[in-house]
Amino acid sequence: MPAQQGWPTRRALLPGSGPICRPLKKSFSLTLIDALDTLLILGNVSEFQRVVNVLQEGVDFDIDVNASVFETNIRVVGGLLSAHLLSKKAGVEVEAGWPCSGPLLRMAEEAARKLLPAFQTPTGMPYGTVNLLHGVNPGETPVTCTAGIGTFIVEFATLSHLTGDPVFEDVARKALKALWKNRSDIGLVGNHIDVITAKWVAQDAGIGAGVDSYFEYLVKGAILLQDKELMAMFLEYDKAIKNYTKFDDWYLWVQMYKGTVSMPVFQSLEAYWPGLQSLIGDVDNAMRTFLNYYTVWKQFGGLPEFYNIPQGYTVDKREGYPLRPELIESAMYLYRATRDPTLLELGRDAVESIEKISKVDCGFATIKDLRDHRLDNRMESFFLAETVKYLYLLFDPDNFIHNDGSVFDVVITPYGECVLNAGGYVFNTEAHPIDPAALHCCRKRKEEQWEVEDLMREFYSLKRNKKFTLKRASDHGEEESAKDPRDASSEKGGEKRSSKKSSHSLLSCPSQSFNSKLAVLGQVFLDNT
C-alpha cells in the first residue's frame, strides 16, 4: 500500500482533552519498520531480509520533523530492536558482536537518542512531542498523557542492556516513578498531567485511552527485567482499579480523587486488559471481562471506539473501528493460558469480519462507521504490526514465538556464551517481541571498555582452533588467553564445548544462575511467591 502522508496516534483522545498525544508524521519508513517482525512471524524470510536492506540504505532520523515521543518509541525503537534480535533467525548475516552490535541496533539507538531531550524536565516526565533535529520546541505544551510518560521501560531497558549505556533505562524508570509518586490518595492516576508542575490536567481515571500502556509496561517491564518493584506497583494499581472502576466485569472511568463515575463507557483500547490480567495469573476475571467485550464485537462485527454500556450502543462520533488489535491480543494470551475454544471463535469472527468488510484492492481499510460499515481511505500501520500478528499467533501454536524453552540457540558474544530464541518473548505495546534472554548477553564492566566490534572481527578472522593472546589494559598489564569463539558455536545441537580458560578471561563469564535462566521463560512472580 502507498505510504501514508500521516497517521494518528493509536491512543484515542478523551472528549475535550485536546491534541496532546500527537501524531507521528511519516518521514522515516514507519510502516516498513512497524511491520518488519510480522514478516518473520508469518514465515516470509526473504521479504524480511529485503526490508532490512532497504532500511539500512534509506532511513534518516536527522530530519526537521515534530514527532510523538510515545509513538516513535513503540513503533520505531521497538520495531528496530525486535527486528535486530530476530535478524539471525531470519537468515540475515549478522556482524561480529551481535546481538550487542548491529545496524538495526544502531538505528534504534539513534532514534532513541532523538527522544532523550523530551525527558529533560523537572519531574523526569517527558514532553509529548520532540523535534528530531532541534529537540523540544520552545513553545511545546507541557501537558502529556499518562501512557505517553509510562511507556518506555520495555524498549529503553532493552536498549541499555544491549548497548551498555544506562541512560535509556534510567530516564524510563524515573518517568515511571514520577507517575507512581503522583497517584491520588485512593491509588489512581489521571489521564493527562503537566510534566513541569506534576499537576493533573485531566483527572479521569481508567484503564483505556491515554493511560492503558502505562499499566501494561509495569507488568511487562517486571517480567522482562524480573523486577519485583514494578510488579508491586501494578498490583497496587490493580487493587484500586477493581475497587473504584470495576462494575459487573466492565471497567468505567472515574474521578481519580473521589472514585465517582465520570464516563460509563467501554473504549476499544481497553480490550488489552484481559490479556494483561492473564499475564499475572488472574485468568477467571480476565475471561469474564473478555466475554463482555466479545458481545460488543458480535453486535457490530468489530469494536467501536466508544461503547455506552448502560445504553448498549455506540457513542456519537466514535462509531469507527480502525482494525485495532486489542481484543485479538487478549484472545491470543488467554488461549495460551486456557485453550478455551471460545477464543478461537473470536479469532474466526475477526478474520471473517475484516475480510468481508475491510478488504480493498490495496490493503485493509479502516471501518469509518460500524453501523453501516462505511470505510475510510486509510490503513493504520498497527494493523500490520499487531492485528495480523496476533491473529496469526492465535491460530499457530507451533510458531517459534510460542517456544516453551525446549529448544534454543547458543551464541558467542564478547562477554561469553548467550542463550537466545528460547521463548518467553515480551511484546511491547505495538506487538514487537523482545527476547528477554538477550538482555543478559551484553553485560560488561566499565573498566573494560574495549572495542567490541574490532575484537570480534579479529576472533572470527582467525583459523579454527587457533589459540591467541589478547592484551587488556589493567593495573598489572596482564595478558590473557582465549579460544576461537566459533569452536563453541559449531557444536551440533547447540551444545557447549568446554575449554580451559583463565579465571579472568575476557571471553568467559559466570554461568547464569537458575533464576536468570527462568527469566527466559518469562516467569511471573506474585506477592505469594
- Catalytically active residues are 71, 212, 305, 326
Q: Is 429 assigned to a binding site?
A: yes
User: What values do phi and psi take at 409, rounded to 5?
Assistant: -115, 145
Total count of residues recorded for the chain? 529
Cβ contacts of 240-243, under 8 Å, gap ≥ 24: 240/186, 240/187, 240/188, 241/188, 241/207, 243/186, 243/187
Radius of gyration of the chain (CA): 23
> Would you call 475 exposed, middle or buried from its count of C-beta atoms within 10 A (0-12, 13-18, 19+)?
exposed
DSSP 349-398: HHHHHIIIIIEETTEE--EEETTTTEE-S---HHIIIIIHHHHHHHH-TT
Task: For residue 494, give the nearest of 427, 419, 400 by alpha carbon.
Answer: 419
Which SS3 state, helix, strand or coil, does residue 301 take?
coil
78-86 and 45-58 are packed helices; what angle lies between their axes, rounded to 10 degrees?
130
Contacts of 284 (CB under 8 A, 6+ apart): none
Contact 80, 98 (CB under 8 A): no
Please report, for the chain, how many H helices and E strands are present, in that order: 19, 23
Name the one residue in this structure whose C-alpha cell is 493527562.
Answer: 192
What is residue 448's DSSP assignment? G
Measured CA to CA, the distance from residue 422 to residue 401 in angstroms comes to: 9
Other Cβ atoms closer than 10 A to 264: 14
- Report H helices in 116-182: 147-150, 153-163, 167-181
The residue type of 84 is H
3-state secondary structure 20-84: CCCCECCCCCHHHHHHHHHHHHCCCHHHHHHHHHHHHHHCCCCCCCEEEHHHHHHHHHHHHHHHH
Task: For residue 502, give the nearest of 485, 479, 484 by alpha carbon.
Answer: 479
Which residue ranges make up the annotated binding site for Ca(2+)?
Answer: 429
Which residue ranges make up the annotated binding site?
Answer: 429
